[in-house]
Amino acid sequence: MCPAPVDESTPRGFIIPIGGGEDRVKEMQIHRRFVELSGGADADIVVIPTASMLEETGPDYNRIFSELGAGRVEFLPISRRADCDNPDFAGMLDRATGIFMTGGNQLRLSAILGGTLVAQKIRRRNAAGVPVAGTSAGASIMSEHMVAGGSSNAGPAEGNITLAPGMGLTNAVIIDQHFTQRNRLGRLLTASSFNPFLIGLGIDEDTAAFIGPDNVFEVVGSGTVTVVDASHLTHSSMWEARRGQALSLLGLRLDVLGEGCRYDLTARQAFPPDEHLAFCTLPDRSGNSGATGGKTQLQ
Protein backbone atom coordinates (compact mmCIF):
# COMPACT_ATOMS: atom_id res chain seq x y z
CA MET A 1 0.00 0.00 0.00
CA CYS A 2 1.40 3.37 -1.04
CA PRO A 3 0.38 6.80 0.25
CA ALA A 4 -2.72 8.20 -1.42
CA PRO A 5 -1.96 10.27 -4.56
CA VAL A 6 -1.19 13.91 -3.81
CA ASP A 7 -2.59 16.76 -5.90
CA GLU A 8 0.45 18.75 -7.02
CA SER A 9 -1.34 21.98 -6.12
CA THR A 10 -1.91 20.87 -2.49
CA PRO A 11 0.94 19.79 -0.18
CA ARG A 12 0.32 16.59 1.77
CA GLY A 13 -0.64 17.13 5.38
CA PHE A 14 1.74 16.54 8.29
CA ILE A 15 2.06 12.96 9.55
CA ILE A 16 2.66 13.01 13.30
CA PRO A 17 3.56 9.72 15.03
CA ILE A 18 3.77 10.08 18.83
CA GLY A 19 5.54 7.54 21.03
CA GLY A 20 2.72 7.34 23.58
CA GLY A 21 2.62 8.61 27.15
CA GLU A 22 2.45 12.22 26.00
CA ASP A 23 1.91 15.07 28.45
CA ARG A 24 -1.85 15.62 28.63
CA VAL A 25 -1.93 17.87 31.70
CA LYS A 26 0.85 20.49 31.83
CA GLU A 27 2.38 22.06 28.72
CA MET A 28 0.75 19.61 26.28
CA GLN A 29 3.36 20.73 23.76
CA ILE A 30 2.68 18.02 21.17
CA HIS A 31 -1.11 18.40 21.29
CA ARG A 32 -0.79 22.18 21.19
CA ARG A 33 1.31 22.00 18.01
CA PHE A 34 -1.19 19.59 16.43
CA VAL A 35 -4.08 21.95 17.16
CA GLU A 36 -2.14 24.84 15.59
CA LEU A 37 -1.46 22.81 12.45
CA SER A 38 -5.15 21.87 12.33
CA GLY A 39 -6.28 25.49 12.28
CA GLY A 40 -6.36 26.65 15.90
CA ALA A 41 -9.67 28.34 16.67
CA ASP A 42 -10.91 27.25 13.23
CA ALA A 43 -9.83 23.63 13.69
CA ASP A 44 -12.30 20.79 13.20
CA ILE A 45 -10.60 17.80 14.82
CA VAL A 46 -11.89 14.22 14.59
CA VAL A 47 -10.57 11.74 17.19
CA ILE A 48 -10.56 8.00 16.44
CA PRO A 49 -10.29 6.07 19.74
CA THR A 50 -10.80 2.63 18.16
CA ALA A 51 -7.48 1.17 19.36
CA SER A 52 -8.53 1.71 22.98
CA MET A 53 -11.00 -0.43 24.91
CA LEU A 54 -11.62 2.39 27.41
CA GLU A 55 -14.85 4.36 27.07
CA GLU A 56 -13.25 7.53 28.43
CA THR A 57 -10.52 7.72 25.76
CA GLY A 58 -12.55 9.59 23.13
CA PRO A 59 -14.09 12.13 25.54
CA ASP A 60 -10.68 12.66 27.19
CA TYR A 61 -9.03 13.74 23.94
CA ASN A 62 -12.09 15.85 23.09
CA ARG A 63 -11.49 17.73 26.34
CA ILE A 64 -7.76 18.15 25.69
CA PHE A 65 -8.14 19.60 22.20
CA SER A 66 -11.04 21.82 23.26
CA GLU A 67 -9.00 23.21 26.17
CA LEU A 68 -6.21 24.00 23.69
CA GLY A 69 -8.57 26.16 21.65
CA ALA A 70 -9.73 23.92 18.81
CA GLY A 71 -12.98 25.24 17.34
CA ARG A 72 -14.71 21.85 17.08
CA VAL A 73 -13.70 18.41 18.39
CA GLU A 74 -15.63 15.17 17.91
CA PHE A 75 -14.79 11.50 18.22
CA LEU A 76 -15.93 8.54 16.13
CA PRO A 77 -17.29 5.71 18.36
CA ILE A 78 -16.02 2.97 16.04
CA SER A 79 -15.81 -0.44 17.74
CA ARG A 80 -16.58 -2.80 14.82
CA ARG A 81 -16.05 -2.83 11.07
CA ALA A 82 -19.71 -2.13 10.32
CA ASP A 83 -19.34 1.25 12.06
CA CYS A 84 -16.88 2.31 9.35
CA ASP A 85 -19.67 2.40 6.76
CA ASN A 86 -21.58 5.08 8.68
CA PRO A 87 -22.11 7.99 6.23
CA ASP A 88 -22.16 10.46 9.13
CA PHE A 89 -18.62 9.42 10.07
CA ALA A 90 -17.50 9.82 6.46
CA GLY A 91 -18.97 13.33 6.44
CA MET A 92 -17.15 14.25 9.64
CA LEU A 93 -13.84 13.15 8.12
CA ASP A 94 -14.59 15.04 4.90
CA ARG A 95 -14.78 18.33 6.80
CA ALA A 96 -12.01 17.56 9.33
CA THR A 97 -8.97 19.82 9.44
CA GLY A 98 -7.12 17.44 11.79
CA ILE A 99 -7.40 13.70 12.53
CA PHE A 100 -6.06 12.04 15.70
CA MET A 101 -5.80 8.28 16.38
CA THR A 102 -5.40 7.26 20.02
CA GLY A 103 -3.33 4.53 21.63
CA GLY A 104 -4.38 1.03 22.56
CA ASN A 105 -3.88 -2.08 20.43
CA GLN A 106 -2.67 -1.53 16.87
CA LEU A 107 -3.96 -4.90 15.68
CA ARG A 108 -7.43 -3.98 16.94
CA LEU A 109 -7.10 -0.70 15.05
CA SER A 110 -5.94 -2.30 11.80
CA ALA A 111 -8.43 -5.19 11.98
CA ILE A 112 -11.36 -2.79 12.37
CA LEU A 113 -10.28 0.06 10.07
CA GLY A 114 -8.25 -1.78 7.42
CA GLY A 115 -9.75 -1.55 3.93
CA THR A 116 -12.82 0.41 5.05
CA LEU A 117 -14.28 3.72 3.94
CA VAL A 118 -12.92 5.38 7.11
CA ALA A 119 -9.36 4.26 6.32
CA GLN A 120 -9.71 5.52 2.75
CA LYS A 121 -10.99 8.87 4.00
CA ILE A 122 -8.05 9.27 6.40
CA ARG A 123 -5.56 8.58 3.61
CA ARG A 124 -7.27 10.92 1.16
CA ARG A 125 -7.67 13.73 3.68
CA ASN A 126 -3.98 13.53 4.57
CA ALA A 127 -3.09 13.64 0.86
CA ALA A 128 -5.30 16.73 0.59
CA GLY A 129 -3.34 18.59 3.28
CA VAL A 130 -4.99 17.53 6.56
CA PRO A 131 -2.56 16.66 9.41
CA VAL A 132 -2.96 13.17 10.86
CA ALA A 133 -1.53 12.41 14.30
CA GLY A 134 -1.47 9.15 16.20
CA THR A 135 -0.11 8.09 19.56
CA SER A 136 1.29 4.66 20.47
CA ALA A 137 -0.89 2.22 18.45
CA GLY A 138 -2.10 5.19 16.40
CA ALA A 139 1.52 5.91 15.50
CA SER A 140 2.40 2.34 14.53
CA ILE A 141 -0.45 2.02 12.05
CA MET A 142 0.61 5.07 10.03
CA SER A 143 3.32 3.29 8.05
CA GLU A 144 2.80 0.79 5.24
CA HIS A 145 4.52 -1.91 7.29
CA MET A 146 3.23 -1.88 10.88
CA VAL A 147 4.95 -3.22 13.96
CA ALA A 148 2.22 -5.49 15.34
CA GLY A 149 4.17 -6.97 18.25
CA GLY A 150 7.43 -8.50 19.33
CA SER A 151 9.99 -8.84 22.09
CA SER A 152 11.15 -5.92 24.20
CA ASN A 153 14.41 -6.07 26.16
CA ALA A 154 15.98 -8.27 23.49
CA GLY A 155 18.67 -7.90 20.86
CA PRO A 156 18.05 -8.22 17.13
CA ALA A 157 17.10 -11.82 16.38
CA GLU A 158 15.08 -13.77 13.85
CA GLY A 159 11.48 -13.95 15.04
CA ASN A 160 11.53 -11.21 17.68
CA ILE A 161 9.11 -8.95 15.77
CA THR A 162 5.72 -9.37 14.10
CA LEU A 163 4.72 -7.14 11.19
CA ALA A 164 1.31 -6.51 9.63
CA PRO A 165 -0.06 -4.17 6.95
CA GLY A 166 -0.55 -0.62 8.23
CA MET A 167 -2.55 2.30 6.89
CA GLY A 168 0.16 3.39 4.47
CA LEU A 169 0.23 7.14 5.09
CA THR A 170 3.97 6.75 4.44
CA ASN A 171 5.94 3.93 2.85
CA ALA A 172 9.35 5.37 3.77
CA VAL A 173 9.50 4.39 7.45
CA ILE A 174 8.54 1.75 9.97
CA ILE A 175 7.54 3.08 13.40
CA ASP A 176 7.95 1.69 16.91
CA GLN A 177 6.76 3.48 20.03
CA HIS A 178 7.40 3.58 23.83
CA PHE A 179 10.88 3.07 22.44
CA THR A 180 13.48 3.78 25.13
CA GLN A 181 11.05 3.11 27.96
CA ARG A 182 10.50 -0.50 26.77
CA ASN A 183 13.95 -1.09 25.27
CA ARG A 184 12.75 -1.82 21.74
CA LEU A 185 15.93 -1.14 19.77
CA GLY A 186 16.48 -4.84 19.10
CA ARG A 187 13.12 -5.37 17.45
CA LEU A 188 13.42 -2.19 15.35
CA LEU A 189 16.82 -3.37 14.12
CA THR A 190 15.21 -6.69 13.23
CA ALA A 191 12.48 -4.90 11.29
CA SER A 192 15.08 -2.88 9.40
CA SER A 193 16.90 -6.07 8.43
CA PHE A 194 13.89 -7.36 6.46
CA ASN A 195 14.20 -4.60 3.87
CA PRO A 196 16.95 -1.97 4.24
CA PHE A 197 14.90 0.48 2.16
CA LEU A 198 12.80 1.27 5.23
CA ILE A 199 13.98 3.83 7.76
CA GLY A 200 13.26 2.74 11.31
CA LEU A 201 11.83 5.36 13.67
CA GLY A 202 11.90 4.51 17.37
CA ILE A 203 9.87 7.18 19.18
CA ASP A 204 10.06 7.71 22.93
CA GLU A 205 7.13 8.53 25.17
CA ASP A 206 6.06 12.20 25.24
CA THR A 207 7.85 12.66 21.92
CA ALA A 208 6.65 13.12 18.34
CA ALA A 209 8.09 13.29 14.84
CA PHE A 210 6.29 16.03 12.88
CA ILE A 211 6.83 14.76 9.32
CA GLY A 212 6.21 17.59 6.86
CA PRO A 213 5.08 17.38 3.24
CA ASP A 214 8.74 17.69 2.18
CA ASN A 215 9.56 14.46 4.08
CA VAL A 216 11.59 16.35 6.67
CA PHE A 217 10.56 15.77 10.27
CA GLU A 218 11.19 17.75 13.44
CA VAL A 219 11.35 16.21 16.90
CA VAL A 220 8.98 17.72 19.48
CA GLY A 221 8.79 16.59 23.10
CA SER A 222 10.85 15.54 26.08
CA GLY A 223 12.43 12.36 24.68
CA THR A 224 14.23 11.29 21.52
CA VAL A 225 13.58 9.74 18.13
CA THR A 226 16.04 7.01 17.18
CA VAL A 227 16.58 6.68 13.42
CA VAL A 228 17.88 3.40 12.01
CA ASP A 229 19.14 3.62 8.42
CA ALA A 230 20.04 0.20 7.01
CA SER A 231 20.44 1.34 3.41
CA HIS A 232 24.23 0.90 3.52
CA LEU A 233 24.29 -2.55 5.06
CA THR A 234 27.34 -4.49 3.96
CA HIS A 235 26.15 -7.77 5.49
CA SER A 236 22.94 -9.16 6.97
CA SER A 237 22.41 -12.67 8.30
CA MET A 238 18.60 -12.34 8.36
CA TRP A 239 17.98 -14.49 5.29
CA GLU A 240 19.80 -17.49 6.77
CA ALA A 241 19.08 -17.07 10.50
CA ARG A 242 17.24 -19.78 12.42
CA ARG A 243 14.27 -18.96 14.65
CA GLY A 244 15.55 -17.04 17.68
CA GLN A 245 19.11 -16.75 16.36
CA ALA A 246 20.92 -13.44 16.93
CA LEU A 247 21.45 -11.36 13.80
CA SER A 248 24.60 -9.91 12.28
CA LEU A 249 23.95 -6.46 10.75
CA LEU A 250 27.05 -4.64 9.51
CA GLY A 251 27.13 -1.08 8.20
CA LEU A 252 24.06 0.27 10.00
CA ARG A 253 23.74 3.99 10.63
CA LEU A 254 21.97 5.16 13.78
CA ASP A 255 21.04 8.73 14.78
CA VAL A 256 19.44 9.82 18.05
CA LEU A 257 17.52 13.09 17.71
CA GLY A 258 16.38 15.26 20.61
CA GLU A 259 13.91 18.13 20.57
CA GLY A 260 14.39 20.55 17.70
CA CYS A 261 16.52 18.16 15.63
CA ARG A 262 15.41 17.46 12.08
CA TYR A 263 15.81 14.54 9.72
CA ASP A 264 15.47 14.50 5.95
CA LEU A 265 13.91 11.14 5.06
CA THR A 266 14.75 11.59 1.38
CA ALA A 267 18.42 12.50 1.84
CA ARG A 268 18.67 10.25 4.95
CA GLN A 269 20.49 12.99 6.84
CA ALA A 270 20.08 14.38 10.36
CA PHE A 271 20.43 18.03 11.42
CA PRO A 272 20.76 19.73 14.80
CA PRO A 273 18.32 22.36 16.13
CA ASP A 274 18.18 25.76 14.43
CA GLU A 275 20.54 27.47 16.87
CA HIS A 276 23.30 25.05 15.80
CA LEU A 277 22.64 25.32 12.06
CA ALA A 278 24.96 28.22 11.16
CA PHE A 279 27.06 25.94 8.95
CA CYS A 280 24.57 23.13 8.38
CA THR A 281 21.58 23.36 6.05
CA LEU A 282 19.20 20.85 4.61
CA PRO A 283 19.87 19.86 0.99
CA ASP A 284 17.44 20.93 -1.68
CA ARG A 285 15.75 18.27 -3.76
CA SER A 286 18.58 18.35 -6.32
CA GLY A 287 20.94 17.09 -3.62
CA ASN A 288 22.77 20.41 -3.33
CA SER A 289 23.05 22.32 -0.09
CA GLY A 290 22.97 26.03 0.43
CA ALA A 291 22.19 28.75 2.94
CA THR A 292 18.44 28.50 2.31
CA GLY A 293 18.20 24.98 0.92
CA GLY A 294 15.23 22.92 2.03
CA LYS A 295 15.12 23.90 5.71
CA THR A 296 11.64 23.36 7.02
CA GLN A 297 9.78 25.37 9.66
CA LEU A 298 6.53 24.30 11.33
CA GLN A 299 3.89 26.94 10.91
pLDDT digits (tens, 9 = 90+) for 211-255: 999 999 999 999 999 999 999 999 999 889 999 999 999 999 999
Residue ranges per domain, the chain?
A: 15-267
* Burial of 223 (C-beta count, 10 Å sphere; 0-12/13-18/19+): buried
104: left (phi over 0), alpha (psi -120 to 50) or beta: left
> pTM for this structure?
0.89
178 belongs to the catalytic site: yes
What's the rounded Cα separation, in Å, for the pair 69 and 73?
A: 10
Could you please report the per-residue DSSP string of 45-63? EEEE-TT---TTHHHHHHH
pLDDT digits (tens, 9 = 90+) for 17-67: 999 999 998 999 999 999 999 999 999 999 999 999 999 999 999 999 999
CATH of 15-267, one of 3.40.50.880, 3.40.50.1100, 2.40.50.140, 3.60.20.10: 3.40.50.880
Tally the C-alpha atoms within 13 A of residue 120's C-alpha that lie toward its C-beta. Answer: 7
276 belongs to the catalytic site: no
pLDDT digits (tens, 9 = 90+) for 120-170: 999 999 999 999 999 999 999 999 999 999 989 999 999 999 999 999 999
Give the pLDDT score at 181: 97
2: left (phi over 0), alpha (psi -120 to 50) or beta: beta
144 belongs to the catalytic site: no
Catalytic residue among 178, 193, 218, 236: 178
Catalytic residue among 38, 52, 110, 136: 136
